[in-house]
Structure formats: C-alpha cells, structure tokens
Amino acid sequence: MTIAIIAHNGKKAEMVQFLNENQEILHSKEIKLVATGTTGAKTEAAGFQVEKLLSGPMGGDAQIASRVAEGKIDMVLFFRDPLDKHPHEPDIFMLMRLCDVHNIPLATNPATATLLIKAI
C-alpha cells in the first residue's frame, strides 16, 4: 500500500506527531510513504522511510495527483491549513478532485486520517 502524505507549513508538526502516534501500524504493514519535499524531510527526520518529491509549491502536489491518476497511490493524508492562503491552490484542488474521481481515500485532518489508518 502506498500512502501519500502532505502537510502545509502550519500542519507539518501535526503530521509528524500523527505518524509517530501510528508508527506501529505504519511499520507493521507493507506501507510505502510518498511525500512532498519538506513534509518528506520532516518525516525522514522523525525516523520514517519516505520517497520525497518536489515541495508543494514547486509541483509536489501535482506529482502526487499524477500518481493518483495513474493508480499508484492508495491513500492520501493531506493536513491542510484552512486558515492560510496558498499560492498553489489550483494544484491542491486538482489533487482533491482526482482523489474523488479515482475513489482514493483522502483525509484532510488528523481525525479522519486516524480512521483511515485504523482501517488498514
């Protein structure tokens, strides 16, 4: 199973905390993590193995969206910061739309992500 992880700057610490709280599940299953650049770097620093793509504003969200469309991503955990503006909003909306089009589970907050991870 391949899980894409993305977190806006204001949510990166929350993503790392979420991964640490669920490391038993994430390490016990055959799960591959793919992340946008900075989220991936923080994930690696926390001791997780992750494939890092470009940062979100540089095209990382679009790279993950492309993999969703190709059937290479099984789940997306995207901790969005709804209180901040993001210059790459079109890429974010494209990713969310493609998750809906291709029926890929998408969590945009820790509560939903917890439900998805526990369902693995």
Q: Is the overall model pTM greater than 0.75, yes or no?
A: yes
Instruction: Please identify every residue annotated as catalytic.
Output: 61
Whether 86 has a pLDDT exceeding 70, the answer reads no
What's the domain range around 88? Answer: 2-118
**Six token digits for residue 37:** 């650049």
> What is the rounded average pLDDT of the residues 26-38?
92
Structure tokens that stand for 52 in this block = 């890092």
Average pLDDT over residues 72-101: 89
pLDDT value of residue 69 = 98
CATH number at residue 41: 3.40.50.1380
State mean pLDDT over 69-90. 88
> How many structural domains compose the chain?
1
